Amino acid sequence: MAGYIHDLRALKVRAGQPSLQELQRRSGIARSTLSDALNPRRRELPRLEVCLALVRACGVTPAEEAQWRARWQHIAQAREALRAMPSAGVPDLAVPAESAVPQQLPAAIRHFTGRARELKELDALLGDQMPGCGTVVISAIAGTAGVGKTSLALHFAHRVAHRFPDGQLFANLRGFDPAAAPVDAAGVARGFLDALGVPAPRIPPDSEGQLALYRSRLAGTRTLIVLDNAREAEQVRPLLPGSDRCLVLVTSRNRLSGLIALDGAVPLPLDVLSREEARELLWRRLGPEPVLGHPDAADELIELCARLPLALNIAAARAGDHPGIPLSVWADELRDTRARLDLLAAGDGYADVRAVLSWSYRALAPEAARLFRLLGLHPGPDISAAAAASLAGLPLPRTRTLLDDLHRAHLVTRQGRERYSFHDLLRAYAIEQIDAHDSTGVQSESTLRMLDHYLHTAYRAGSLAYADEASWPPLDLAERAVGVTPEVLTERQQALSWYRDEQTVLDQTVARARQEGFDNHAWQLAGTQVSYLLKSGLWQQWQQVSELALAAAERTGELDRQAHAHRWLGQVHRSQGRQPEAHIELRRAFDLFGQVGDRTRQGRTQIDIAIAYGEEHAYVEAIAEARLALELFEAVDDPSGQATALNSIGWYLTLRGEPRKALPYCRRALELSRACGNLPAQSSTLDSIGFIHHHLGEYHEALPAYLESLQLRQAIGDYFLQAEIHTHIGDTHLALGDTLAARRSWRASLDILDDLQHRDADAVRARLDRHQDKSS
């Protein structure tokens, strides 16, 4: 009886109106207590008033209260009848321990979707290791809040429950519950002993004894145990049975590394749904018409919900309540990042994305929580450990430790070596938290450190890879802010790898700098990227950062920076075949460079104008512009520029049909570029020399020049021009009668051009179609 009175006291209503969540929690406790108390096989029948007090604590209807009263009276009458029987007395109605078969699994999730890979792994775990493997089988299902860990565990548990004839035990360990402290192992064990039918007098009073009895009771049984929402390994370890015929499923927002390392748990990380799984979830919730009839809106809704099952279920529930409203309307509402978390709430703490994310965030140590908030300032999609260190103004080793803490808590995801990301809903929550806890001054200082990190690292990378390029602009960097930790780059290939890794981040960072009013950083960050974007053929990104750079330069009124930005835009338009727009931008750049007295940049812009004319097959005009550029470079004694101009003259003379006249110009250009150590100019000139020999019918002289040019382009990392040289090599092989070799070179060119989605791909594809491989 004392146990029931304790439960009654625990259910007393505190001052004020309890929340719906609190009432549901109390109701669950009360109902469980009543079911246990009114078990007709128990030796003791509690007093009626205790039962009624427990019932009222649930907040149930009078009809349900009457049902509980009738149940108590029925059991009491049955006991009185037994006492009236001769020589009978009240029998021992306690259930023998051997016959108790607990079935504690909560209901499975109705709209469970996907997770085929994870279910296959769990099936394999069960099939390969049971029975008789010598140790208990444990699966640690870990993932971020709302990703569906409990749903997966329960779905699988119900699917295999028949294989565990000795029962199924379930406990919510409340590792991240906002309304209650985590449940300790002893408390769980005490409840499991009751479920296993162990009579109260046989249960030891101390926690160690209860845990030992629990493990003894499971010895030799085939029991399934689900331990949901664990906070740490120490909460789970005492509850692991010794029987190798049992299966334990543990879910947690933490990785539970100790359970994996010391107890042999098999980790099962759970990520957000795939796009196909997310579509299936919406289809199950809403039916086929809204999803299949409006696939674009459905896909946008899926991405705005970050493919997080909880968010998708909430969005689907809202859409299902208003079937006449198309999915595009819900997607429109969710586009507002600041309002997104408000919309993804269903009035219940467990069905509120913000609430469930907060439970993980509140469990962090203060320093890790600060780093999580600051990550919301980063534009994404991912961040290196060094960039995170600069953002936080912390030493790199300490930042690595904090990122590991966030990774274990599934608040960030590790993407390869020392790169981290989080989905958009976590980003939105981080932004909310930094707005709530950190001043605008703190945010501005952190943003400045982040921009300085990328600017100083990109400048180092560009200096290693592109310092001798005509497109590399003059940059006078200010001293970086205190706490900034640039990446350590020492050689060209390392620099190119860094550009590849950070390409999307850099694009977003320029936009963020412009948005936040850091115009100097916006222009300089754009300047450190243009050479890489040009060489890689990333036209759309190139145009975007050039437009941002121009807007920043116009805002500050600096004419030389405006000139550079107009030139970059002219190069983009020229490369994309938009020659009228190219001429406008390049002439504007030429004039602005003249206004600031930069004759070298005028010469380089004149070469761009020559190339634009060449793209239009206006070779006379192209040669004239190249000659004007040569005069400018000679006037300022710029041998590298002279080499570029001489090569341009030779190239367009060849295209005009005068290859023999062109050869001296290109030979002189090669001498100058080699003397200057200008690798890009050397490669371009060697390609021109190969082209001249080809047009003179000297194919065996053309090939070595082409191959040397290609090797230089590969070393430089100039992706687009490699395709052009492959095409020229293929043409020369064809002229020598080797169609197979020609096709190999054209195929290499086409692979690059298709990857870049370049307009020249069709011309190369036509070559392949005209010269089919007769040997195939």
> Closest Cα to residue 65, out of 27, 106, 39, 36?
27
pLDDT at position 604: 94
The answer to the question of residue 588 being in a domain is no
Judge if 84 and 198 occupy the same domain: no
Tens digit of pLDDT for each residue in 379-434?
A: 888 999 999 999 999 999 999 999 999 988 888 888 877 899 888 888 888 988 99
Q: What percentage of the chain carries pLDDT values higher than 70?
A: 83
Residue 683 counted as domain residue? no
Dist CA 216 CA 624 (whole Å): 95
Confidence (pLDDT) at 98: 43
Instruction: Determine the pLDDT at residue 30.
Output: 54
- Provide mean pLDDT across the span 306-312: 85
Give the residue among 30, 36, 1 at the shortest CA–CA distance from 197. 36
Tokens representing 619 are 């070779």
Q: What is the phi/psi pair of residue 668, to 5°?
A: -65, -40
CA 511 to chain CA centroid, nearest Å: 20
On whether both 458 and 505 belong to a single domain, the answer is: yes
> Are 225 and 125 within one domain?
yes
Q: With cut-offs at 50, 70 and 90, classify the pLDDT of residue 59.
A: low
Mark whether 291 and 310 lie in a shared domain. yes
Tens of pLDDT, residue by residue over 114-145, are 889 999 999 888 875 544 444 567 888 888 88
Nearest Cα to 636, choosing from 689, 679, 600? 600
pLDDT for res 43:
47
Indicate whether 255 and 286 sit together in one domain.
no
Whether 372 is in a domain gets the answer: no
Rounded to whole angstroms, the Cα distance separating 322 from 210 reads 52
Same domain assignment for residues 465 and 541: yes
Considering the entire predicted model, what is its pTM? 0.69
With bands split at pLDDT 50, 70 and 90, how would you rate the model's confidence at 41?
very low
Q: How far are the Cα atoms of 41, 45, 90, 591 from residue 94, in angstroms, in the given order?
A: 5, 12, 11, 99
Contacts of 87 (CB under 8 A, 6+ apart): none
pLDDT band at residue 354 under the 50/70/90 scheme: confident
Better-predicted residue by pLDDT, 110 or 338: 110
Phi, psi (deg, nearest 5) at residue 608: -60, -40
706 phi/psi in degrees, rounded to 5: -60, -45
Query: Is the dihedral angle over the CA atoms 458, 459, 461, 466 positive or is it negative?
Result: positive
Residue 63 is predicted with a pLDDT of 57
For 279, 660, 712, the CA distances from 642, given in Å and listed in that order, are 59, 20, 20
For the chain, the first-to-last Cα distance in angstroms comes to 89
Clarify whether residues 131 and 257 are in a common domain. yes
Q: Which residue has the higher pLDDT, 464 or 292?
A: 464
Residue with tokens 């064990």: 189
Q: Distance (Å, rounded) from C-alpha 146 to C-alpha 148?
A: 6
User: How far, in Å, CA of 727 to CA of 749, rounded?
Assistant: 6
Please give the sequence-ordered ranges of beta strands (E in DSSP) within 136-193, or none if there are none: 137-142, 168-172
Long-range contacts, 200-208 (Cβ 8 Å, 24+): 200/3
**Which residue did the predictor score with more confidence, 659 or 113?**
659
Q: Which domain holds residue 79?
A: 2-94
3-class SS at 767?
Answer: helix
Contact 683, 712 (CB under 8 A): yes
pLDDT tier at 746, thresholds 50, 70, 90: very high
Give which of 551, 600, 176 is closest to 349, Cα–Cα: 176
Boundary of a domain, candidates 228, 252, 269: 269
The two structure tokens encoding residue 643: 């080499």
pLDDT on residue 148: 87
Banded pLDDT at 263 (limits 50, 70, 90): confident
pLDDT at 52: 61
Kindly report the length of the chain: 776
Query: What are the C-alpha distances in Å from 270 to residues 184, 197, 252, 519, 627?
Result: 25, 35, 10, 41, 64
Structure tokens at 18: 């309890």
Look at residue 424 and tell me if it is in a domain.
no
194-213 pLDDT, tens digit per residue, is 888 888 888 888 888 889 89
Identify the residue with better confidence: 455 or 32.
Answer: 455
Q: SS in 3 state form for 388-443? A: HHHHHCCCHHHHHHHHHHHHHCCCCEECCCCEEECCHHHHHHHHHHHHHHCCHHHH
10 contact partners, CB below 8 Å, separation of at least 6: 29
State percent of the chain over pLDDT 90.
Answer: 42
**131 preceded by a cis bond (ω within 30 of 0):** yes
* Alpha helices, DSSP H, located in 287-335: 288-292, 295-304, 309-321, 327-334
Separation of CA 527 from chain center:
28
Q: Let me know: does 484 contact 493? Beta carbons within 8 Å.
A: no
Model confidence band, residue 739 (pLDDT cutoffs 50, 70, 90):
very high
Contact 94, 41 (CB under 8 A): yes
At residue 7, the pLDDT reads: 40
Average pLDDT, the chain: 83
Q: Is residue 478, in this structure, part of any structural domain at all?
A: yes
Given 45, 60, 94, the domain boundary residue is 94
Residue 98, both tokens: 């051997």
Question: In the structure encoding, which two tokens stand for residue 564, read together?
Answer: 């550079």
The pLDDT of residue 76 is: 62
In the three-class reduction of DSSP (H, G, I as helix; E, B as strand; rest coil), residue 252 is classed as strand
Question: When comparing pLDDT for 455 and 756, which is higher?
Answer: 455
Residues 340 and 230 in one domain: no
The reply to whether 125 and 27 lie within a common domain is no
Residues 316 and 247 in one domain: no
Asked, for residue 647, whether it belongs to a domain, the answer is no
Q: For the chain, what is the domain count?
A: 4
Q: Does the residue 422 lie in any domain?
A: no
CB burial readout 348-361, b (16+ within 10 A) else e = ebebbbbbbbbbbb
Of 94, 129, 156, the one marking the end of a domain is: 94
| Same domain as 149, residue 246 | yes
Residue 633 lies in a domain: no
Where residue 134 sits, what CATH number does that domain have? 3.40.50.300
Pair 651, 686: CB distance under 8 Å: no
In this predicted structure, the answer to whether residue 39 has a pLDDT above a threshold of 80 is no
Tell me the one-letter amino acid at 118: E
* pLDDT tens track for 328-353: 888 887 887 767 777 777 665 566 77
Residues 81 and 121 in one domain: no
Q: How far apart are CA 484 and CA 776, in angstroms?
A: 58
Show the tokens assigned to 125.
Answer: 């775990």
For position 245, what pLDDT does the model report? 83
* pLDDT tens sequence across 614-638: 999 999 999 999 999 999 999 999 9
**Which residue bears the tokens 């036509």?**
766
Q: What are phi and psi of 170, to 5 degrees?
A: -140, 135
If DSSP codes are grouped into helix, strand and coil, which group holds residue 4? Answer: helix
pLDDT band at 156 (very low <50, low <70, confident <90, very high): very high
Q: CA 129 to CA 134: how far, in whole Å?
A: 9
